[in-house]
Chains A and B, each alone.
Chain A
């Protein structure tokens, strides 16, 4: 079909089976190779549902229809088993809260090795070498200690970096990050966004970046999709959206958050200059 686009979503509808309540209606967007699309919108507007539906991960009781294609392959035609092979390998998810994203009773390393074991035929030593290398590259000191730690022994920022380094090893076509910085303090969030920018440069993967932090969106995204009440109200380049959005809701979002994020960016910019 269209070789240009990594991900195509057409007329995505999501509804609750029991009540028939429509949660997302007629959402369409495309991602080119290496593109970063930010999804913004108020709480409950359907951002997370949209992300999960791309990987067919919505709970039982939530149904979806529409066309979702990865590199031209219609995902709705895949069996559950085939879809599972896509998860992690072709799509990588980065969760909002690292603290709850890992099994609390297992060391982090167990999850990482199991995931790699599902997708690759690498030896354990090879997996560990790759993980250690990427972990150091995203700023995790002592990767071996991190691998042996339980989730509650690490900070939110560290766990976010762990998920990022797993994504780097997996080299997916699309990375889906659902509010990856919301649970972090401002400084850590800034650094994690930095890691996301490097991740994009390094892998050239397309990325969906859901965030409330318009400062981060502005730094990282090429295009922005604005959602409200389950519908797409605006879709355009980041520059245009921030320069002058056509939809009043977008204008409201941009104006209310811009002042704050600009101030913070300046602050962090100064800090970077001082450090470097």
Chain B
């Protein structure tokens, strides 16, 4: 198992190299010359050819691509992603805190999503077709189909404005988490609880449940067996879900003025602040790969069928 883990982690490295290279050349895909962008962003009034050339060599942009990539990669590994074109501050000093805020929001939301979908999935599967199952499914369908900006507006209006219980925006106290987390959880729990439920149901109809019953095993023991087998699906589903949620907090962050990656990136995109966008894409891609690898390893650890192949 340890050997497999090392092999799996080793396989991630080339992938990360490819991702970082793609992120690096992403910069060159912009229709505008980066040097020109820098000058625009800095608010230089008249931009001449000479000025652009000077800026290019100042930024090291006249050197060969691979050399620039190598330098960039080395500095990225030291969390040096260059400086913002707009404010001139180091990218990491902006991105680091924003990443932490987003991670907090993501992890708190994911925790609620995981607990809620597993609990609802199990209860609904065990009561399939009964009123509880039907009502949970219809309510979740209704909630999931609401656009998150609309839901957010509704909740802000009710809980913050009308009842004055919760802050409308920002990240000042634990209470600030309630609304954004609620919106994210409502958006995703419906989806993931359905996956758990259907995986429970398909397991409940498996032969091994019939044979277990025919052998006189208790319903409790059979439920545990079904649960263990269904959770294997859950581990891989949630391993992929967390980075998806991480990437999708953009809308919610912007609505609630959450000082996270989403807010930072939208501003950077509007300002064409490429170093920040680049760092954001890189960080998110790396997070995606890492979560995926972690869930894969976890899955292998709990699933004997996969474990055999290693």
Contact = CB atoms under 8 A, between A and B. Distances in A.
Contacts of B206: 100
Interface stretch (A82-90, A135-143, A227-235, A251-259): A82-90
B211 A102 contact: yes
Given A100-B208, A101-B208, A111 B305 contact: no
Contacts of B302: 105
Interface stretch (B61-69, B74-82, B212-220): B212-220
A150 interface: yes
Given A95-B210, A100-B208, A105 B303 contact: yes
Contact of A152 (B208, B216, B228, B308): B308
Given A93-B211, A105-B225, 20 more contacts: A57-B210, A87-B216, A89-B216, A91-B214, A93-B210, A95-B211, A101-B211, A102-B208, A102-B211, A103-B212, A103-B225, A105-B302, A105-B304, A114-B217, A114-B221, A115-B217, A118-B218, A150-B308, A152-B304, A152-B305
B229 interface: yes
Contacts of B208: 100-104
A55 interface: yes
A247 to B, nearest CB: 31
- Interface core residue of B211, B213, B215, B232 (most chain A CB under 10 Å): B215
A92 B216 CA distance: 9
Interface of A: 52, 55, 57, 84-89, 91-93, 95-97, 100-106, 111, 114-115, 118-119, 150, 152-153, 163, 166
B114 to A, nearest CB: 20
Given A57-B210, A95-B210, A101-B207, A84 B308 contact: no
Interface in B229-275: 229, 232
Contact of B216 (A52, A84, A153, A163): A84
A166 B216 CA distance: 13
Contacts of A101: 207-208, 211
Given A100-B207, A105-B304, A87 B214 contact: yes
Contacts of A150: 304-305, 308
A118 B304 contact: no
11 contacts: A84-B218, A86-B216, A87-B214, A88-B214, A93-B210, A95-B211, A97-B207, A101-B211, A105-B228, A105-B304, A115-B215
Interface string B279-304: 00000000000000000000000111
Nearest to A89: B216
A34 B295 CA distance: 53
A119 B215 CA distance: 9
